[in-house]
Structure 1
Amino acid sequence: MTKIAIIHEWLDSYAGSERVLEQMLLAFPTADLFVLCDFLPEAERHFLHGRTPRTSFIQRLPLAKKRFRNYLQLMPIAVEQFDLQGYDVVLSSSHAVAKGAITGPGQRHIAYIHSPMRYAWDLQHQYLRQAGMTRGLASLYTRWLLHRLRLWDQASAARPDTLLANSRYIAERIQKAWRREARVLHPPVNLAGFPLCEQKQGHFLIASRQVPYKRIELVVEAFAQMPDQRLIVVGDGPSAPLVTAAAAGAKNIELRGRVPQGELVRLTQTARAFVFAAEEDFGIAMVEAQAAGTPLIAYGRGGARDIVIEGETGFLFAEQSAEAVRAAVQRFIAAPALSPAACHANATRFSEESFRAALITEVMG
Structure 2
Amino acid sequence: MAVPGILVHEWIARDGGSEKVLDEFVRAFPDADVLCLWDDADRYPERTVHESGLARTPLRRNKALALATMPYFWRRRPGSYDFALVSSHCFAHHVTFDAAPNGFEKLVYVHTPARYLWNPELDDRGASLAVRCAAPPLRALDRRRAREGAHFAANSDFVRRRIERAWGVDARVIFPPVETTRISAVPDWRNELSAAESDLVEGLPEIFVLGASRFVPYKRLDWVIRAAERAGLPAVIAGSGPEERRLRRLAAESTVPVHVLARPSDALLYSLYQQAHVYVFPAVEDFGIMPVEARAAGARVIVNSLGGAGETVREGVDGLRFCEDSVEAVAACITAIDTVPKDGVGGVAALSAENFRHHIRDWVGETIDGT
Measured against the shorter chain, the TM-score band is 0.7 to 0.9
1:273-325 Cα offsets, whole Å, 9 max, x none, are 21111111111111110110111111111121222111111100012322101
Q: What's the offset of the Cα at 1:197?
A: 4.1
Q: What's the offset of the Cα at 1:83?
A: 2.8
**Corresponding residue of 1:66:** 61
> Distance in 1 between the 2:83 and 2:39 partners?
22
> Distance in 2 between the 1:357 and 1:37 partners?
28
Match of 1:80, SS state, is coil
How do 1:73-112 residues align onto structure 2 when only pairs under 5 Å count?
A: 73-85=68-80, 87-102=81-96, 105-112=102-109
Match of 2:37, SS state, is strand
How do 1:149-298 residues align onto structure 2 when only pairs under 5 Å count?
A: 149-195=138-184, 197=187, 202-227=207-232, 229-240=233-244, 242-244=246-248, 246-247=250-251, 248-298=253-303
* Contact 1:197 1:293 (C-alpha < 8 Å) held by counterparts: no
Q: What's the offset of the Cα at 1:30?
A: 0.7
> Distance in 2 between the 1:199 and 1:102 partners?
45
Match of 2:74, SS state, is helix
> Distance in 2 between the 1:16 and 1:169 partners?
17
> Distance in 2 between the 1:37 and 1:236 partners?
23
**Corresponding residue of 1:338:** 342
> Distance in 1 between the 2:187 and 2:18 partners?
28
Match of 1:33, SS state, is strand
* Contact 2:35 2:49 (C-alpha < 8 Å) held by counterparts: yes
Cα gap change, 1:244 to 1:33, in 2 (>3 Å): closer
**Corresponding residue of 1:14:** 15
> Distance in 2 between the 1:252 and 1:55 partners?
47
* Aligned AA (1:205): L
Q: Which of 117, 121, 132 lines up with 1:120 in the alignment?
A: 117
Give the TM-score of the pair, scaled to structure 1: 0.86
> Distance in 2 between the 1:199 and 1:78 partners?
44
**Count, aligned residues:** 345
Q: Which moved more, 1:162-171 or 1:14-23?
A: 14-23
Question: Any stretches of 5+ residues in structure 2 without a counterpart?
Answer: 191-205, 367-371
Identity %: 31
Q: What's the offset of the Cα at 1:64?
A: 4.3
Match of 1:297, SS state, is strand
> Distance in 2 between the 1:232 and 1:3 partners?
48
Q: What's the offset of the Cα at 1:101?
A: 1.6
Q: What's the offset of the Cα at 1:55?
A: 2.1
**Corresponding residue of 2:318:** 313
Cα gap change, 1:179 to 1:130, in 2 (>3 Å): closer
> Distance in 1 between the 2:151 and 2:229 partners?
47
Match of 1:319, SS state, is coil
Cα gap change, 1:88 to 1:292, in 2 (>3 Å): same
1:116-144 Cα offsets, whole Å, 9 max, x none, are 0111112079646753x3xxxxx5xx434
Give the TM-score of the pair, scaled to structure 2: 0.85
Match of 1:54, SS state, is strand
Is 1:56 aligned to residue 48 of structure 2? no
* Aligned AA (2:31): T
Cα gap change, 1:324 to 1:165, in 2 (>3 Å): same
* Aligned AA (1:289): A
Cα gap change, 1:352 to 1:168, in 2 (>3 Å): same
Q: What's the offset of the Cα at 1:160?
A: 4.1
Q: CA RMSD in A?
A: 2.5
